[in-house]
Amino acid sequence: MLSTILFVISCNADSGDSPPAFQSVSTLGKLSVGKTLPRYSGSSESGQTVGNKPRNRKYLIHLLHSDLPPICVNEECGAFGPVANLKGADLYGGSDLKFADQVFGIFPADNDAFRQQSQNYGVLIISDQQAKIRTIYQHVDLPEVETILQDSDAILTQTD
């Protein structure tokens, strides 16, 4: 069992240009819309449990971004935690690239170079209580997170 967890950032590591505006994608690394999130567990610095399923909400939102603490839960992730909670979701976030690469298969191993090239951009993943991925957004800038959450009502109200 992993004792800690992580999350991080995403963009085109082949170019020094800014990534395009955030976009919804069907596949990113080991993740695919409609498939189950990889199993993992850990805890934030304050000891709150994280994993591939929400604790007490209908949905789970992962926010991987370099400007977040290594691991955070809900309000530990800043203003986005309460916004996610209002939408009926728990928010797990963080900035640990090694964990994101090992668990989600979405980031290269050279953390320093990748972090420098992809500064200020991240990944947002929305999944349900069964850990089924509903949507994946890449190239997300932190100010865009609230916009995505506000526009995600259709995703958050989907039923199987």
Q: What does the pLDDT read at residue 81?
A: 87
* Structural Rg of the chain based on CA atoms: 14
Report, as ranges of residue numbers, the positions in the chain whose pLDDT lies below 70. Answer: 1-20, 99, 107-120, 152-160
DSSP strand E in the chain: where? Answer: 23-25, 27-28, 31-32, 41-43, 49-51, 59-64, 71-73, 89-94, 121-128, 133-141
Q: What does the pLDDT read at residue 101?
A: 78
Q: What does the pLDDT read at residue 50?
A: 86
Number of domains forming the structure of the chain: 1
Q: What does the pLDDT read at residue 156?
A: 61
Check if the beta carbon of residue 88 is closer than 8 Å to that of residue 58: yes
Q: Is residue 57 part of a domain?
A: yes
Q: What does the pLDDT read at residue 17?
A: 53
Q: Is residue 28 part of a domain?
A: yes
Q: Is residue 13 part of a domain?
A: no
Task: Give per-residue pLDDT as tens, 91-107.
Answer: 998 887 776 777 787 76
Domain assignment of residue 129, given as a range = 23-156
Q: What does the pLDDT read at residue 13?
A: 39
Q: Is residue 15 part of a domain?
A: no
Q: Is residue 1 part of a domain?
A: no
Question: How far is it, in rounded angstroms, from Cα 121 to Cα 15?
Answer: 14
Q: What does the pLDDT read at residue 58?
A: 87
Q: What does the pLDDT read at residue 87?
A: 83
Q: Is residue 78 part of a domain?
A: yes
Q: Is residue 16 part of a domain?
A: no
Q: What does the pLDDT read at residue 113?
A: 53
Q: What is the CATH number of the domain that holds 78?
A: 3.40.30
Q: Is residue 10 part of a domain?
A: no
